[in-house]
Amino acid sequence: MQPILNKTVEFVKFTLANAEAGHDWFHIERVFKTALNINKQEDGDELVVALAALLHDIADPKFNNGDEELGPRVAEEFMTSINVAKEVVAHVKLIIQNMSFKNSFDHNGFSSKEMQIVQDADRLDAIGAIGIARAFTYGGFKNRVLYDPEISVEQHHSKESYKNTTAPTINHFYEKLLLLKDMMNTATGTALAQKRHDFMLAYLDHFYAEWEGR
């Protein structure tokens, strides 16, 4: 397994060398480490978990004109090129196609223990201290305002509504980040999420106090 993972790490580092800071190699590395830690408790297929974690953002649609098929295709072609077993390639591709938050609006039928583990790891990196940093990094990348009290929080009910939002970064906490705690799949992920969720609530309290000059 290790030679496969070594080649995959090298490929991902090269491919994401110039990626936006919230979706770069370091994001992948954190998700990879967290997924393996969760897997120790949840007992999924380690190779599937590892490959899905490493390749899940290899061509994020946000940075590729919304193309949701590019990432799974690039991942499939790479895994095939290094002779990963066909059944593993198929499983990892399904995970990449279905694990993102925006796809939760589709209520698709695919799930697996391994997808649940990697999805939890990815969602954990979206919350807590690092999640806050990533949210503002992406907001800056999109030139969004930090906060505007005149712009109400919108609860999205479709993938298109979520994808097309241009709301301030603080709104993103309520439209996604604070929802993730209750969307975790595994007991291990849920326990980790609670701590990060509480940190975000404390941060927001400080943010609003400072906004009012207190």
Per-residue pLDDT tens over the stretch 5-60: 999 999 999 999 998 888 999 999 999 999 999 999 999 999 999 999 999 999 88
- What is the DSSP secondary-structure string of 68-135? TTHHHHHHHHHHHHTT--HHHHHHHHHHHHH-SGGGGGGT-S---HHHHHHHHHHHHTTSHHHHHHHH
pLDDT of residue 60: 81
Per-residue pLDDT tens over the stretch 91-109: 999 999 999 876 555 666 7
Q: Give pTM, 2 decimals.
A: 0.90
As a whole number, mean pLDDT of residues 65-77 equals: 88
Look up tokens 């061509």; give the residue.
59
Contact 95, 118 (CB under 8 A): yes
Q: What is the rounded distance in angstroms from the CA atom of residue 9 to the CA atom of residue 83? A: 15
